[in-house]
Amino acid sequence: MNRLERLRKENPLVVCITNDVVKNFMANGMLAIGASPIMSGEISESEDLMQAASALLINIGTADRAKAHLMDEMMESANENGIPIIFDPVGFGASRFRVDITEDLLARHKVALIKGNAGEMLALSGSESRMKGVDSAEAGNTTEIAEAVHRRYGVPALVTGEKDALATEHGVTTMVNGHGLQGKITGSGCLLGGITAAFIGTADTFEREAVVDAVSYYNLCAEAAAGKCAIPAPGTFIAGLIDELYLNDDTLLEDSLVGGI
Amino acid sequence: MNRLERLRKENPLVVCITNDVVKNFMANGMLAIGASPIMSGEISESEDLMQAASALLINIGTADRAKAHLMDEMMESANENGIPIIFDPVGFGASRFRVDITEDLLARHKVALIKGNAGEMLALSGSESRMKGVDSAEAGNTTEIAEAVHRRYGVPALVTGEKDALATEHGVTTMVNGHGLQGKITGSGCLLGGITAAFIGTADTFEREAVVDAVSYYNLCAEAAAGKCAIPAPGTFIAGLIDELYLNDDTLLEDSLVGGI
Amino acid sequence: MNRLERLRKENPLVVCITNDVVKNFMANGMLAIGASPIMSGEISESEDLMQAASALLINIGTADRAKAHLMDEMMESANENGIPIIFDPVGFGASRFRVDITEDLLARHKVALIKGNAGEMLALSGSESRMKGVDSAEAGNTTEIAEAVHRRYGVPALVTGEKDALATEHGVTTMVNGHGLQGKITGSGCLLGGITAAFIGTADTFEREAVVDAVSYYNLCAEAAAGKCAIPAPGTFIAGLIDELYLNDDTLLEDSLVGGI
């Protein structure tokens, strides 16, 4: 199935309640693949936006109490309108506050996918985190962490790292594309959340393959961007990554390295 | 008249109350043409800022109720100090909230220019919008839409699209420069709002030609940037557009394609 | 001493309460040198974050009253936990509000370093400012301004300009590296604040040399980035600056031009 082709035809509206650091980068990356991102800061917009949306992306980085309330309302409207929610617990474990709002939001609303880096998802799984900052990743065993989060919350869980792992009721899928520079730029994981939301929003029902394709497409574009840098470095890479997201199509996915458990 | 040369001598202070997605891009683009952008989130700054400002740019994207209140105060101070206001109703029509604050702000304050894309301006004109997201544009007839908004609000109206149209009491001017990649990056229209504000802020009184030059300069820079991309793509284009805004001068305007109705 | 090498080993967590315009650029620049930036908007996170942080960066651009309260709490926790605070009074003098919150925060908390451009620091020193916007710099005598701020507040003061000047109890150090394009992009001074915070956070106690190295490294990277632009222009320069911050190491500092009074 040509998911990207369909995405570029449908231009799914993805409502993003996301952190202040990455809004521009996320919007550009999502436009590049053909999605229509919209960001909102107003609680009373939730019903209007959710009636038109194909997906809702929730990213808790830089959230405060008011924004947690906004997320709560958006997620409520999304659930009522049958809109899939992608939840990214950025910096989970860095503060009691982030733990509290995450657990509260996940308890109150049904999400389609939880995604995060190994440190965040390890903490979310109930195990102890040794996380520092929001960008650090632990090597860890992403497969086990994904399974643990999936078990705990009963929803698909995507853990990013050198080996990305997606755990669903059908088992674990691993993906090994990507480039080290992704860890050297801010918002790399956040944008993946937005792209995954767009892919999920394009499918008629939740499909594991939509997530796998989103992750693989993103990571293959990162490889291509890094490969074109004369000297691989993050400033040039950022622009190159946006370029590749725009220039490639479904055929790129033929190179994806995906495995079972 | 060498507007850009004058702008670069005067470095007009343009106060921007704008959306969270595009602040960095807008600031860099405005610095590139020689303006002095300042952004504020604090209501008590309105009087101080409006006493020093050459123009006020209001962009309602990602606004919430508190920010609408900030906009109200800034516009009040701007009117009192005779500072021209450029109003950009981003995402108008996407929610009742955006409709309400736009209509309220436009009813309470006098603006020098309303600008928006075809979908937003069509909705603002009172006609029905088929808008999706904030970046989508309808082909539509930008000339008619500009005239309709001008008629409804009694102020100059600029509608962007493949053909840009500016409607004032003296009729409609159309402009046809630009490049398709502008529609593939976030904040392209927002930055045009900031640049237009800087051009208007440099003129002694409102001049239609200031808006026409702002739009033409911006679009010609976009053409130049796209022309220098080895393979036209949005990541490289963003940096190139900022470069061109910085590198060119008034002579670029000799290539502008401007027409009457 | 190889400060950058140590920084890249320790990846100091730098909590940034900074303005909305530059968050993405600051985060990418700080990641490029090896720091772990985290940004927060929530007051209840202050204690958790300060227990893990190596430094706190406070930047008052785009602040409102709520954010000033957040800064107050973060600085309180930082002082309690012995975390050095770097304070950047962006736009000081542009409004009574920015003056008030700066004076209040500096009166209530002990900071390790105040840094700002010549216009801001001149105003902060008690002298009259002729500042316009937040990006304009006055030539002025940065050495005298740094001494005046240091005298007034009793803490190290860094004034940026063509000649950067750092005044401490041991006298004034001047630094003359850098490139004019730094003044043409938004957040250039803000990112320097973040980088300085990371260098200070890497040292065991406050060392004047840590600030000097931070400033010199940043400015030398700017020179390198500008030197590699085919035609020096801000869009390309932004990416190149991030690249250089990532690619260089302590040996670059051998080229730094540093002097006494």
* A160 appears as a binding residue in the annotation: yes
Instruction: Please classify residue B187 by burial: count the beta carbons closer than 10 Å to its beta carbon, then call 0-12 exposed, 13-18 middle and 19+ buried.
Output: buried
Between the CA atoms of B174, B164, B250 and C180, what dihedral angle is there, to the nearest 10 degrees? 170
Contacts of C235 in chain B (CB under 8 A): 28, 32, 238-243, 246
The count of other CB atoms within 10 Å of the CB of residue A254 is 7
Taking 70 as the pLDDT cut, the residues of chain B under it are 1, 128-140, 261
What is the residue-averaged pLDDT of chain C? 94
Instruction: Please classify residue A169 by burial: count the beta carbons closer than 10 Å to its beta carbon, then call 0-12 exposed, 13-18 middle and 19+ buried.
Output: exposed
- State residue A261's pLDDT score: 60
Grouped pLDDT means (10 residues each) for chain A, 261 residues: 94 98 98 98 97 98 97 98 98 96 98 97 78 49 95 97 96 97 98 98 94 98 96 97 98 91 60
Tell me the C-alpha distance between B232 and A60, whole Å: 34
Higher pLDDT, residue A139 or C55: C55
Question: Would you say residue C260 has pLDDT above 90?
Answer: no
> Partners for B (CB, 8 Å, 3+ pairs)?
A, C
Residue ranges of the binding site of B for substrate: 39, 187
- Give the nearest partner residue to B133 out of A32, A38, A45, using CB atoms: A38
- State residue C82's pLDDT score: 97
- State residue B19's pLDDT score: 97
- State residue A134's pLDDT score: 53
Pair A203, A11: CB distance under 8 Å: no
CA dist B122 to A173, B119, B152, B206, Å? Answer: 47, 5, 11, 24
Query: What are φ and ψ of residue B47, in 5° steps?
Result: -65, -45
Mutation for testing the B interface, residue in C95, C101, C129, C191 having most B CBs under 10 Å: C95
Work out the angle at residue A227's Cα, subtended by the Cα atoms of residues A183 and A135, and round it to the nearest 5 degrees: 5
Work out the angle at residue A115's Cα, subtended by the Cα atoms of residues A111 and A118, and round it to the nearest 5 degrees: 145
- State residue C139's pLDDT score: 46
- State residue A139's pLDDT score: 46
Tell me the C-alpha distance between C90 and A251, whole Å: 48
Chain B: closest CA distance from residue A19 (Å): 10
Chain C: closest CA distance from residue A204 (Å): 34
Closest CA to B85 of B105, B64, B68: B105
Interhelix angle C234-247/C23-33, rounded to 10 degrees, is 30
Mutation for testing the B interface, residue in A11, A19, A25, A38 having most B CBs under 10 Å: A38
Tell me the C-alpha distance between A133 and C239, whole Å: 23
> Two tokens at B254?
């000799």
- State residue B134's pLDDT score: 53
Domain count, chain C: 1
Contacts of B21 in chain A (CB under 8 A): 23-24, 27, 39
The rounded percent of chain C whose pLDDT value lies above 90 is 91
| Helix/strand/coil for C159 | strand
Which long-range contacts link A148-153 to residues 24+ away (Cβ below 8 Å)? Answer: A148/A122, A149/A114, A149/A121, A149/A124, A149/A125, A152/A124, A152/A125, A152/A126, A153/A106, A153/A111, A153/A114
Contacts of A50 in chain B (CB under 8 A): none
Closest CA to B54 of B71, B35, B31: B35
Assign C137 a pLDDT band (cuts: 50, 70, 90): very low
- State residue C131's pLDDT score: 45
- State residue B136's pLDDT score: 44
- State residue B128's pLDDT score: 59
Q: pLDDT tens digits, residue range C176-187?
A: 999 999 999 999
- Which structural domain range is residue A109 located in? 3-259
DSSP for chain A, written as a single string? --HHHHHHHH--EEEEE--TTSHHHHHHHHHHHT-EEEE---GGGHHHHHHH-SEEEEE-TT--HHHHHHHHHHHHHHHHTT--EEEE-TTTTS-HHHHHHHHHHHHHS--SEEEEEHHHHHHHTTSPP---TTT----S-HHHHHHHHHHHHSS-EEEESSSEEEEETTEEEEE----GGGGGSTTHHHHHHHHHHHHHHHSSS--HHHHHHHHHHHHHHHHHHHHH-SS--HHHHHHHHHHHHHH--GGGGGG--EE--
Q: What chain B residue is nearest to A239 in terms of C-alpha separation?
A: B235
Chain C: closest CA distance from residue B113 (Å): 23
A vs C: CB pairs below 8 A: 103
- State residue C127's pLDDT score: 72
> Two tokens at A141?
């065993």
Which strand (E) or helix (H) includes residue B114? strand B113-117
Look at the alpha carbons of C172, C173, C176, C178 in this order and tell me if their dihedral is positive or negative.
negative
Assign C47 a pLDDT band (cuts: 50, 70, 90): very high
Instruction: Please classify residue B259 by burial: count the beta carbons closer than 10 Å to its beta carbon, then call 0-12 exposed, 13-18 middle and 19+ buried.
Output: exposed
| Residue C110 belongs to domain with CATH number | 3.40.1190.20
Tell me the C-alpha distance between A46 and C202, whole Å: 44
- Give the nearest partner residue to C243 out of A61, A62, A233, using CB atoms: A233
Pair B113, B87: CB distance under 8 Å: yes
Look at the alpha carbons of A146, A147, A150, A151 in this order and tell me if their dihedral is positive or negative.
negative
Pair B37, B194: CB distance under 8 Å: yes
Mutation for testing the A interface, residue in C10, C11, C23 having most A CBs under 10 Å: C23
- State residue B261's pLDDT score: 60
Pair C44, B47: CB distance under 8 Å: no
CA dist A88 to A61, A108, C109, C166, C188, Å? Answer: 9, 16, 35, 42, 30
Between the CA atoms of C48, C53, C55 and C56, what dihedral angle is there, to the nearest 10 degrees? -30
Assign C129 a pLDDT band (cuts: 50, 70, 90): very low
Query: What are φ and ψ of residue B128, in 5° steps?
Result: -75, 140
Tell me the C-alpha distance between B199 and A57, whole Å: 37
DSSP 8-state secondary structure symbol assigned to residue B185: S
- Amino acid identity, position C175: M
The count of other CB atoms within 10 Å of the CB of residue C229 is 17
Question: ipTM of this model?
Answer: 0.94
- State residue C199's pLDDT score: 98
Instruction: Please classify residue C135 by burial: count the beta carbons closer than 10 Å to its beta carbon, then call 0-12 exposed, 13-18 middle and 19+ buried.
Output: buried
